[in-house]
Amino acid sequence: MVGKAMKRRNILIGMGAVALGVGVGGAYALVQRPEGSPQTASQAPAPQLAAAGDMQLFEDDRILGAPDAPITILEYSSLTCPHCASFHQGTLPQVKTDWIDTGKARLVYRHYPLDQLALRAAAAANCIEGDGFFGFLDVLFNNQPRWSRSQDPIGALQQFAGLAGLS
């Protein structure tokens, strides 16, 4: 009895393995199936990038850099996102130095709040006119753990907004 059950189990396992192999092989064949004649990497067409005129800017967009810069960098960011803060602290200063300050590019900043606190912080930032907007973003990103993870994050945000001249 035990021998029969073991034999049946081994047959089922074998059939399952074959079915899995056929499924994986079929999926691989579908993905790798050439459409038309095969191309090498050097023959493949280059991806098309949007022309500067294709990018729609809005009246309320915040722009850092020359308005007529040939390259537009579009950033969506959340003021409570630690990865966004890391970008603003580590990468953006170099991008600003190499691209924005030289007139090669402009940065269009758009809020993408991931939570209610980020939405409130974005609303506060939008109350600041001119260059002060980006300065306030720097303050919020550089101090993100202090205000976003405090016992009273709204109160902490209000303190930083007060330092920026908001009431």
Q: Give pLDDT tens digits along the chain (167 positions).
A: 566 766 666 665 655 555 555 555 555 555 565 555 555 555 656 555 555 556 788 888 999 999 999 999 999 999 999 999 999 999 999 999 999 999 999 999 999 999 999 999 999 999 998 888 999 999 999 999 999 999 999 999 988 888 877 76
Q: What pLDDT is stored for residue 151 in this prediction? A: 94
Beta strands in the chain, from DSSP E residues, in sequence order: 62-64, 71-77, 105-111
Q: Which amino acid is at 4?
A: K
Q: What pLDDT is stored for residue 49 in this prediction? A: 55
